Structure 1
Amino acid sequence: MRIINKPLPEEYPDYICIYMDLLGEDGKILEHLEQNFSEIRDFIYRLPEEKLYYRYDTGKWTIKEILVHLIDDERIFAYRALRYARNDDTPLHGFEQNSYARYSEAGSRSLESIFSEYEAVRKATITLFENLPKTALDRGGRSASGLYWSVRALVYHIAGHELRHFNIIKERYL
């Protein structure tokens, strides 16, 4: 798979360092995305079903809601990457993640349907980044709030964000 160098700190907002710090320097981010999906899927399928509906505190998401949140976030950030890669300088609005989780109805979905969607989105993300022109990876754009992101920072965000939530599941849900 393609090597995509880890972005420099000036290529993403400061608050994203919590995700970037979880990622290595080897440039194999697309391989990591593929491996992370398999590891998370296998881990979640080993959990007792009641854990999928557990909230460790009031207002916190269930594991199913976290999984659908990861899918939503990946779709949104891959879309941003496509826009910036194509040199579209339209400022892009963020999304209200708690509202997305509330209206996802993740709890009524089967784990199979969630992972089927997750896998489809992951394959699309990897395919997008495998085929972007090399020059597109250094392009970037600004969010509606003025924060700058490079295209390659967006794929690293997807991977780091996923790992952070996976760590939270292991630390707080078991």
Structure 2
Amino acid sequence: MIQRPTENEYPAYYQPYVSLVPDTDLVQLLNENLQETVQLFESISEIEGLFRYAPTKWSIKEVLGHMTDTERIMSYRLMRIGRGDQTSLSGFNENDYVVSSQINQLPIRDILDDFIATRKATLTLIHNMPTDAWAKVGVANVAEITTQAIAYIIAGHAIHHRTIITERYLSIM
């Protein structure tokens, strides 16, 4: 069973994401979160998908691509650590990933479909994770982290970025 991680199970910089996750069944939340994300991004046109609320900020399409990249990486970490792999896993620079993706050239529907596929793979991984795997500790980005903390970070990260889209992008378009 996935428990809310304690603050010593993950680096402090993940606290904003973990704090966004309500006390509920995490798998149910991830499913609901998927539906809310689909509804949000299905309402955004191709032109709106290129909108940036400031010149140095990512476009809406880039935010969705970043959400997908991050979930894919965090799910990989969840799998490796949950399976007991003690290899230190490297970090990643999200800005480099966004620039290298050239995601603004893709239709928003394709980007959303990639997020959907990634979330469904995350849900399958979580569903099939053995109970004893949730407390396992590994190292990612030079910091110790538990499998259950990663699951909460995945959920909170998506909530965080959906909130930003709603509050900082759609509110001024």
- 2:123 partner amino acid: I
For residue 108 of structure 1, report the CA deviation from its aligned partner. 0.9
1:31 counterpart (3, 25, 28): 28
SS at match of 2:4: coil
- Does 1:172 pair with 2:168? yes
For residue 17 of structure 1, report the CA deviation from its aligned partner. 1.1
Partner residue of 1:71? 68
SS at match of 2:84: coil
Question: Do 1:51 and 1:173's aligned partners in 2 also have CA atoms closer than 8 Å?
Answer: no
2:145 counterpart (140, 149, 174): 149
Question: Do 2:46 and 2:107's aligned partners in 1 also have CA atoms closer than 8 Å?
Answer: no
Deviations along 1:108-143, one digit per CA (max 9) or x if unpaired, are: 111221121111111110010111110001002112
Partner residue of 2:102? 105
- 1:79 partner amino acid: Y
Please give the root-mean-square deviation of Cα atoms over the aligned residues, in Å: 1.2
Question: Do 1:5 and 1:25's aligned partners in 2 also have CA atoms closer than 8 Å?
Answer: no
Partner residue of 2:80? 83
For residue 5 of structure 1, report the CA deviation from its aligned partner. 1.5
Partner residue of 2:2? 4
Structure 2, unmatched stretches of 5+, are none
Partner residue of 2:155? 159
- 2:168 partner amino acid: R
Partner residue of 1:140? 137
TM norm structure 2: 0.93
For residue 50 of structure 1, report the CA deviation from its aligned partner. 2.4
Which shifted more, 149-158 or 39-48?
39-48
Counterpart Cα distance in 1 of 2:15 and 2:104: 31
For residue 144 of structure 1, report the CA deviation from its aligned partner. 4.2
How many residue pairs align between the two structures? 170
Partner residue of 1:18? 16
For residue 162 of structure 1, report the CA deviation from its aligned partner. 0.7
Question: Do 2:61 and 2:103's aligned partners in 1 also have CA atoms closer than 8 Å?
Answer: yes
Counterpart Cα distance in 2 of 1:33 and 1:84: 20
Deviations along 1:139-159, one digit per CA (max 9) or x if unpaired, are: 0211242x1110011011011
